[in-house]
Amino acid sequence: MANPYIFETGLYDQVRPEYPVAVVEQIKSVALRVADGEDTSRLVELGAGTGKMTRMLLRAGLSVDAVEPADSMLEKLRTLEGGLVTVRKGTAEETGLPQASRVGAVFAQSWHWCDPEATSLELKRILVPGSSVHIIYNQLDVRVPWVKRLTRIMRSGDVHRPDQIPTLTGGFATPVRTDHYWCAKLRIEDILRLGRTRSSYLTSPRAQQERMQANLSWYLREHLQISETSLVSLPYFTYHWQAQLDSE
């Protein structure tokens, strides 16, 4: 599947939200337990993008191999390089990492770009037995009617149903999901910019992009009658799927 973020212009890093701190705390807790005093925090983050999750892992004191295929994302990601983080160009299917060398793997907004079978094989190769894979998605809470319409206007394709369990094969347990509910505070212009980070926008012709932004502007300013200075509470929820590799 082609990744539209090869066209990324920097907005993604500016306006996409971070992840709940509780998610990072869980990742750290599991990694430390698996490491048991050995290189206590060496994780791999796959599809690391511009480093939204990477920065949170670093703030938690974790060492990270950040793997990303898109050059435009790597340019931003490499500003974090040094110390606890190593940046690698690669994919989830071909990381280039040594065998049994990492105590956990993190996918933040990236699992859907992967081939599940090939990725599972690579994860089993590079992870220490007993390690966990963490698959994480922030998404707008479409249970709220006005938010559901907002996502339709933005043509937000990154809505992942909770009953769509990620498939990992070859020694991984069935993923277990934890949900986190929260709100982002944004102004109208921020929501418009958020719309410009969606894959449907990035891959559309210029005329279609302009229509999408005009429709979104109408919805926010005229239909919802939100003022320019108002902070909008935009409801999100975060899925955190965790799947453990068999201990051998």
Spatial distance between the Cα atoms of 130 and 136, rounded to a whole number of angstroms:
19
The end-to-end CA distance of the chain, in Å, is: 33
Higher pLDDT, 13 or 92: 92
Q: How confident is the model at residue 211 (pLDDT cuts 50, 70, 90)?
A: very high
Class of domain 4-141+157-182+236-244: alpha beta
Residue 109, Ramachandran bin (φ over 0: left; ψ between -120 and 50: alpha; else beta): left
- Check residue 46 and give its pLDDT: 98
Q: How confident is the model at residue 83 (pLDDT cuts 50, 70, 90)?
A: confident
Q: Shortest CA distance to 52 belongs to which of 132, 90, 133, 109?
A: 109
- Check residue 1 and give its pLDDT: 46
pTM for the model stands at 0.90
pLDDT in tens, 20-30: 999 999 999 99
**Phi, psi torsion values for 164, nearest 5 degrees:** -90, 90
Question: How do the domains of the chain map onto residue ranges?
Answer: 4-141+157-182+236-244
Q: Shortest CA distance to 237 belongs to which of 91, 137, 109, 88?
A: 137
**The residue to which tokens 């490499």 are assigned:** 78
Q: In this prediction, what percent of the chain has a pLDDT beyond 90?
A: 73
Q: Shortest CA distance to 161 belongs to which of 177, 150, 145?
A: 177
pLDDT in tens, 151-172: 999 886 556 777 889 999 989 9
